[in-house]
Structure formats: structure tokens, C-alpha cells
Structure 1
Amino acid sequence: MPTELEELVSFLHSPQPAVVSIALDNLVGYSQGPQSQVFAYDNYEAIKDLKKLSQEKGKTHVVQSVTILANLCDDLTMRNLIVEDEAYLKYLVSSIVNVNNSNADIMCILLTNLAKNDSINKVLDFTIDHNDEQKKIFKSNKAMDCLMDCFVKGFDRSLNKYADYDYLSYFFADISRFSQGRAYFITEQEYDAVVPLSKLLVFTEKYDSRIRREGVASTIKNSLFDTNAHFKLVTEEKINILPYILLPIAGPEEIDEDEMFDLPDELQLLPSDKKRDPLNTIICVHLESLLLLCTTRQLREYLREKSVYTLIRELHKAVEDENVADLCDRLVQMLQRDEAPVEAEDEEESDDDDDKIVEVL
């Protein structure tokens, strides 16, 4: 005999909309924690029901079913049943890109939660059949390009009045953990001749949105695990990643002129009310990005030339946080150490400590 909750789950495929509504209303609260295992009843039939309900026209059913699916992603089996359904994944991405979709943000959360699985890399190959309205907005039919455009152009709800797409930053961070995802972010795209990562940089100082800053900082860091791209990302004017890593960790402290004018142009003559990122966890992600840039001698020397040590020194003095202090110490050791003669440098360019830096989100 099914339990009362299992019976409620079975009502999700009732032909009567009123019964389905009652089931959804009551089941949202059971979609997190140990109680979520009730959705495994009858060989996970509820996952099929919820995917179907999330494609309905009615807003309430869609919001509730997508919310439940997003919560159930904590369970590996249930997450696999969602993300490995390619047709549903395509539907989800296409719905997010639909600028008239009032449920785009909760769908972004579901997409982000699915990005823990390798199968999410299928999104990199998806294309979208745009209608006439979408063709005026999106110049590419590649799903990733469209998601990037939503995130960059839609941050102020000017693209979709119902959505700010903030949670796509976490999706970008997750997909950049995979080599295919990293390749996308650091490669110039045909449709606009721009490296996608460069579009995200401006959001490292968006202090009114923790989600955007956190996700973007993690995407930058994960992209830097491709050490072959470091020099291009740092030195090419169209990308110029370094100032956007440094600005969030720079504060209002006065710096001697001799040191200040060695800094990147964007870091010189900062106003006296300059604020560094208010969250130490995000500062730590940027410091780990700098540590990754220290992997090669070429970039260490470049960071020295740009007086990065000066900013690390001031940050160390200004912020009382054990994790920040530890990362500052590691950076100082990398930047202030004596380098081996070039001819003797058949060295392990990657410092042992750097192995502790892991991809995030």
C-alpha cells in the first residue's frame, strides 16, 4: 500500500487539473531534504510528470514543478533523469532564451543545478530556432551565445521584464569546470568576434548583486585552469582580464606614486571612496585567480611589472580574515621569490600549493 505522500505524488499525473494543483501545492515543501525520496515512488514516475507539467501554459503549475525539479537536483539519480533527457534540456534552454517567459529566472536556477553533471556539456552543441522577434535580439542561434546575451544584456530587466538572469552566472561557473566549457569562454566567437569571458568582466564590481559577482568570479577562476590561455587573456587589449580581477580587491588606501604608476591604468588614481568587494569569500576567489596566473614564470614577471604585490600588501593590511591572509601570503611568496636562471628552469612551473586551488560551483 502506498503511503499518503506517495499517493499524493501519484496524483501528479491525474487527468484532473484541480487534483494536480492540490498535489503540487502540497509537494513543494517535500522536495528538499530526506523527504524528497518520496519522488522516487513508482520508479521515479514523478520526474516525468514534473517535466511535463513544467511545459504547461499555466504559470503556477510551471513555477511549482520547476521549483520541485530544481530542489530534486540534490539527488544524483533524479538529477540524471532530468539532465540526460536531451529533449527536455533543449526545452529548458529555449524557454530561458524566450524573452517573454515570466518563469525564466526559476528555470535558470534549474539549469544551474543540472550543471553539476557532465551531460550538461550537450548545451554547448544546442542551437535554437529563433522566431522573428528573437532574430532581432540574438545574432547567433547557438544556445550558449544566446544565454550569454541574456545574461549580459538582460541584467537590468530591459530584455525580459520578468527576469534578470543573475543565476546564469552560476551556470557559467559550473560549465567552466569542464574543458569544453572553458574552451567556449576563452575562444573568440564567430557571431560577434568577442571572447565570451571578456563580456563577464564588468560584473566583478556589481556590488548590488552578490550572485552575479560570485558566479562571474568563479567563471574567471575556472577559465584560468587553461594555463595556455593566460598570456592572451592578460595581454590582449580586447580581453584585458587583470584589472577586473584586481579592482574588487583594491580599496581606498593611498599608494606611493612610484608604485601606483606601475599598476594597470584602470588601477591608477582610484577615488578615495573606492570600495573593495564586501564579501571576503569573493575576494578569495579573485586571489586564487591571481595564484593561477602565477603558474608560469612569464605571468609572474608580468604581475611583478604591474605592481600587483602592492595591492596584495594593502589588502593584507586592511582585511582581517584568515583565508584572505593565507592567500595573500601565498601570493607574496610567488611574487617576491627569486626566480631560477632561465637556462636551469626545467622546473615544475606549477607550485605544489596551487594544486589546492580547485574549480568551484
Structure 2
Amino acid sequence: MESLQEIQQFLTLETPQHVKSIAITYVLSLTGSKEGQELLCKCSEIVAALGKLAAEDKDPVVSKESLLCLVNLSAEEDGAAVLLKSISKLTGTCAKNIIDENCTLADPWSMVLSNVSRSLPLAEQVFDEIESKLNDLISAFTRIDYNKKKCHLNYLGPIFSNLSQVTKGREFFCQADAETLSRLIPFVQYEESLVRKGGIVGLLKNICFDSSRHLFLLEEINILPIVLLSLAGPEEYSDEENDKFSMELQYLSPDKQRENDPDIRKMLIDSLNQLCATRKAREFLRSNGTYEILRELHKWENTDAGDKLCLISCENVVDILIRTEDEIGEDNLKSLDVPNDLVEKFDKMGSNLVEE
């Protein structure tokens, strides 16, 4: 701790560049281990100094290495909380640099903002602090090659996903005119970046947890064809089955590939599971070919190419869709009061299936 306090005196804007560079390199090496991160997080003055150097130092190497320190320190929730507490206006600085199309460090700034907004308690704080900048961030995200210094801004996807954990965040993304969400949802099928695509799929999944948004998602945003297209493979369907599908899903080519990443597939299936909570949404899913797509997905997930967790999630949705509404007997499944002992039993059964 004493050595850190000695280092701190060199982490200033006024320190000669060669001395400051040595100090920053040492601190960056500490952030590469859990023990080093914990040690640094106990020294809020150093964290604050790193924030100032990252935002204001004119030397590109110093500012970059200071920023990378912040990326590493914010990787865990405890460190993220320390950053938000120690660095004045951190989230605003992140947003400002991400929106700046000439910022060479927009990507690491977006990684910091993604890290500090990951947990629900911190996401609430971050949303309140950057709500006024969200439209600008969405514009930057939806314009490919927005950044003129070749930063990709892919981590804006996870930022939007993190903020949609918050009630106010979901309200923002589901504004009445549907324009905000309509601009983001197409990235569910974005193939150039798993981070960007996964972030928007996470956003969609979070919104699907809110049953009051189901008809908005299905009828105004029209998310079902986008979700099902990601889960569909090259399988052939009868003319009767194709008639159920939207145009995007009809008569797919023999080389059609379904989503390759199992984590993203599972989030998409879990989104469908959440949509099954309400009767109107279940009826919409049935009448638009959801069962037929999941039937073929289930067969594929049961092969060596598939994934056990995706298979179980798929079965959960199919089990609901094949039942009649009289058999289900509830308009909203979220209103059911499931005893804690049964919840634990079902969780254990799921764990056992995964291990088999």
C-alpha cells in the first residue's frame, strides 16, 4: 500500500511524460491480476487520478494506458462501484468520448461504460446519469463506421442491454413511436460482431420479461420474424406450414444457417419463453409458425452440433405452445404463485438434465 501511495504522486497531468509513463505501466500491470485490482480499488485517490489522466492527458500512450486500467478495474462489480464513486462524472465522460466521432479511444471508453452498467444497482445510476445522451449513443451505434478513427463501438450493444434491466431503461427503449427499438432490433442478425449482436439480443430478452410490452414487441416492432429467422435452419416445410410464416421465413434456401453461438440462441429462445407468459402472445406465436420452427430447432439441438441448455430451453417453450389455452388455464402465467420448494425442485431437475 505504501508503494502505491508513492506511485500516486506521479499520476498527475504535470508529471514529466517519461516518469508518468513508467508509473502508468506499473499500475496497468497490477490491474492484470485480481489481487492487484483489489489493492488498487482500496486507493480511491489513484483511481481518481487514472480517470483524470484517461480523460485529459495529452500524451496518447498515457491516456490509453490509464483508460485500459479503468477497463480492467471495472471488470468486476466491486471495482465498477469504486470507479463510479471515485471518478467525477465518469459516465458523462464515457458518453462524450463515445459520441465524439474523432475519438481514437471510443472503444475502450465504451468498454468502461459497459462494465460499470452491468449490475442492476449500478445500471440504475448509470441510466440516470446518461439518459440525456442515449439518443446520441443510439445514433452512433446504428451508423456503421460512425467513428472516423476506426473504432467499432460494438460495446454499445451490451450497454443498451445493461440499461434495459432498469424499468426506466425499458420505458426509454419502448417509446410509443417504436422508432428507438426499431433502429436497434435489426442488429439481432448482425454477423460482423458477436458483442454487438449479443448486446441487442440481451436488450430484447430483458424487454420480453415485461409482459406489458409483449403486444408492442410482436405487433408494432414485429420481432417474431427476426427471432425465428435466427433460429431457423435449412429445413423444408410444407406449403401449409409456410403459409403460417411471414415472408422472411418462407421457403428458406438449402444453405440457410441458424445462429451459431449457443449463448445467443439460448437468449432468443428464452425471449420466446417470456412471450409465452400472456395468452394473446401465445396465440400470436402459434399462429405465426413458432412451434414449427422450434420443432426443427429441437431436432438440431439434439445432435452433436447442438447445445444441451438450448435444447432444454426449446423444450420449455414447445411444452407451452403445444397445450391448448383450456389446458393452460391462465391468461398470464406470471400471475401464478409457485411455491419455493417447487422452484428449487425444478431448478434441480434442470441442473440434472444438463449434467446427463
Partner of 2:100: 98
Alpha-carbon distance in structure 1 between the residues aligned to 2:31 and 2:285: 48
What runs of 5+ residues in structure 1 fail to find an aligned partner?
128-140, 357-361
Q: Which of 208, 215, 232 is the equivalent residue of 2:216?
A: 232
Partner of 2:352: none
Normalised TM-score (structure 2) = 0.85
Q: Which of 267, 270, 280 is the equivalent residue of 1:288?
A: 270
Partner of 1:54: 54
Q: Is 2:326 the partner of 1:340?
A: yes
Q: Is 2:159 the partner of 1:171?
A: yes
Amino acid at match of 1:19: V
> In the TM superposition, what whole-angstrom CA distance separates every residue of 1:296-340 from its partner, at most 9, and x where no partner exists?
011111111011100001011123321111011111111001222
1:83 CA drift (Å) = 2.1
Conserved 8 A contact 1:102-1:163: yes
Partner of 2:71: 70
Give secondary structure in 2 for the equivalent of 1:55: helix
1:96 CA drift (Å) = 1.0
Conserved 8 A contact 1:287-1:328: yes
Alpha-carbon distance in structure 1 between the residues aligned to 2:92 and 2:297: 44
C-alpha distance 350-249 of structure 1, shift in aligned 2 (>3 A): farther
Alpha-carbon distance in structure 2 between the residues aligned to 1:72 and 1:58: 21
**Which range is displaced more, 290-299 or 202-211?**
202-211
Conserved 8 A contact 1:103-1:162: no
Alpha-carbon distance in structure 2 between the residues aligned to 1:75 and 1:285: 22
Give the CA RMSD over aligned residues.
2.6
What runs of 5+ residues in structure 2 fail to find an aligned partner?
348-356
Structure with the bigger percentage of helix: 2
Q: Which of 228, 233, 241 is the equivalent residue of 1:246?
A: 228
Alpha-carbon distance in structure 2 between the residues aligned to 1:303 and 1:40: 48
Alpha-carbon distance in structure 2 between the residues aligned to 1:180 and 1:106: 26
Matches within 5 A, 1:295-310: 295-310=277-292
Q: Which of 193, 215, 235 is the equivalent residue of 2:199?
A: 215
1:27 CA drift (Å) = 2.0
Partner of 1:81: 82
Alpha-carbon distance in structure 2 between the residues aligned to 1:47 and 1:347: 48
1:34 CA drift (Å) = 1.4
Alpha-carbon distance in structure 2 between the residues aligned to 1:225 and 1:80: 26
Q: Is 2:188 the partner of 1:200?
A: no
Normalised TM-score (structure 1) = 0.84
**Which range is displaced more, 78-87 or 290-299?**
78-87
Conserved 8 A contact 1:201-1:241: yes
Amino acid at match of 1:144: L
Conserved 8 A contact 2:278-2:332: no
Alpha-carbon distance in structure 2 between the residues aligned to 1:77 and 1:336: 45
Q: Which of 321, 326, 347 is the equivalent residue of 2:312?
A: 326
C-alpha distance 341-315 of structure 1, shift in aligned 2 (>3 A): closer
Amino acid at match of 1:27: V
Q: Is 2:47 the partner of 1:34?
A: no
Conserved 8 A contact 1:9-1:38: no
Conserved 8 A contact 1:104-1:162: no
Q: Which of 164, 167, 173 is the equivalent residue of 1:185?
A: 173
Matches within 5 A, 1:111-150: 111-117=113-119, 118-125=121-128, 142-150=132-140
C-alpha distance 160-29 of structure 1, shift in aligned 2 (>3 A): same
Partner of 1:277: 259
Partner of 1:109: 111
Conserved 8 A contact 1:169-1:216: yes
1:163 CA drift (Å) = 1.3
Conserved 8 A contact 2:127-2:163: no
Alpha-carbon distance in structure 2 between the residues aligned to 1:261 and 1:47: 59
Conserved 8 A contact 1:123-1:144: no
Alpha-carbon distance in structure 2 between the residues aligned to 1:123 and 1:289: 25
Alpha-carbon distance in structure 2 between the residues aligned to 1:250 and 1:322: 17
Alpha-carbon distance in structure 2 between the residues aligned to 1:96 and 1:30: 26
1:74 CA drift (Å) = 3.6
Give secondary structure in 2 for the equivalent of 1:332: helix
